């Protein structure tokens, strides 16, 4: 099973690239973030024509997540529990039946948290606390679970070309990185780092020639429950999409589960 995550940075602006990528890469399940579309305006017909079932949790103008799957959805859950007042569309969970049992897949878009000193950073940390609680409870199911998405966290200095440039950014704060580590301590595996110690980035800013200079960071992750990690057969970053015309500033990250 091939599962991918991609912050598409606007599905309407990137629909042509998305369709080409789905045809070329052929993920069984694709998790999208920052679709920037309400549910009823999501371009599902073109995607469904390629054989995908589509579920979204959208929001006008920003945020928004989606799961595209060649498998039928058994269950769909929208919104991260724990804060009834949170209206931001950042979390969707799909449940699928396979020949080897149930697989759960989440597409998540973690808050950026900038600027520091504003209410946005506490919101980020609170969201991560809620995710940790939810992820701990889901472990009790003892099922393969993939938490895929844009975490807006640079886990380690080696995950940035110039880590010193990020010391005052919410993505690289000790609290953000600590929250990410707590997911690992629960028993979740960072799929990319489980198979590679190479220099790998998933995001290059549109500004200052970041792509041309390979001035990137790794903030898009697939975190695997123990049952999913036991089936991990490979992981890769599809960097070449960043060179496409009208690219997202993120690229897909892909895993293979045996």
**Which tens digit of pLDDT belongs to each residue from 180-200?**
999 999 999 999 999 999 999
The arithmetic mean of pLDDT across residues 116-140, rounded, is 98
Tell me, what's the pLDDT at 250? Answer: 98
158 — pLDDT class (breaks 50, 70, 90) = very high
250 appears as a binding residue in the annotation: yes
CATH number, domain with residue 32: 3.60.10.10
Q: Coil, strand or helix: which one is 44? A: helix
Tell me, what's the pLDDT at 112? Answer: 98
140 appears as a binding residue in the annotation: no
CA dist., res. 187 & res. 137, Å (int): 12
185 given a catalytic annotation: no
Please tell me the total count of domains within the chain. 1
Tell me, what's the pLDDT at 111? Answer: 98
Q: Percent of the chain scored above 70 by pLDDT?
A: 100
Out of 109, 151, 188, 201, the active site residue is 109
What single string gives the DSSP state of each residue in 170-230? GGG-HHHHHHHHHHHHHT-EEHHHHH--S---SEE-SSTTTTTTT-EE--EEEEE-HHHHT
pTM above 0.85, yes or no: yes
Tell me, what's the pLDDT at 44? Answer: 97
**CB–CB of 131/223 below 8 Å?**
no
Which residue segment(s) compose the domain that 216 sits in?
A: 2-257
Tell me, what's the pLDDT at 22? Answer: 98
79 — pLDDT class (breaks 50, 70, 90) = very high
Nearest to 108 by CA among 122, 92, 123, 128: 92
220 appears as a binding residue in the annotation: no
230 — pLDDT class (breaks 50, 70, 90) = very high
Out of 150, 159, 169, 220, the active site residue is 150
150 given a catalytic annotation: yes
34 appears as a binding residue in the annotation: yes
**Which tens digit of pLDDT belongs to each residue from 50-61?**
999 999 999 999
131 — pLDDT class (breaks 50, 70, 90) = very high
What integer best gives the mean pLDDT of the chain? Answer: 98
Tell me, what's the pLDDT at 176? Answer: 98
């Amino acid at each position: 099973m091939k599962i991918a995550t991609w912050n598409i940075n606007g599905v309407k602006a990137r629909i042509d690239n998305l369709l080409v990528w789905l045809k070329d890469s052929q993920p069984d399940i694709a998790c999208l973030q920052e679709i920037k579309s309400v549910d009823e305006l999501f371009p599902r017909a073109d995607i469904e024509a390629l054989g995908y079932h589509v579920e979204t949790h959208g929001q006008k103008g920003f945020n928004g997540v989606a799961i595209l799957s060649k498998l039928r959805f058994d269950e769909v859950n929208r919104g991260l529990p724990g804060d009834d007042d949170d209206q931001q569309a950042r979390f969707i969970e799909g449940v699928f039946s396979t020949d080897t049992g149930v697989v759960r897949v989440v597409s998540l878009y973690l808050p950026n948290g900038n600027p520091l000193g504003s209410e946005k950073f506490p919101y980020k940390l609170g969201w991560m606390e809620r995710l940790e609680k939810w992820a701990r409870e889901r472990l009790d199911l003892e099922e393969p679970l993939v938490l895929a998405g844009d975490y807006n966290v640079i886990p380690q200095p080696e995950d940035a070309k110039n880590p010193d440039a990020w010391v005052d950014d919410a993505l690289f704060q000790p609290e953000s990185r600590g929250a990410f580590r707590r997911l690992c301590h629960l028993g979740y595996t960072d799929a990319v780092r489980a198979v590679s110690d190479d220099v790998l980035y998933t995001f290059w800013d549109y500004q200052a020639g970041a792509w041309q200079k390979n001035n990137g960071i790794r903030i898009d992750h697939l975190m695997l429950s123990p049952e999913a990690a036991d089936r991990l057969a490979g992981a890769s970053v599809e960097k070449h999409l960043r060179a496409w015309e009208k690219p997202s500033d993120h690229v897909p990250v892909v895993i293979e589960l045996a």
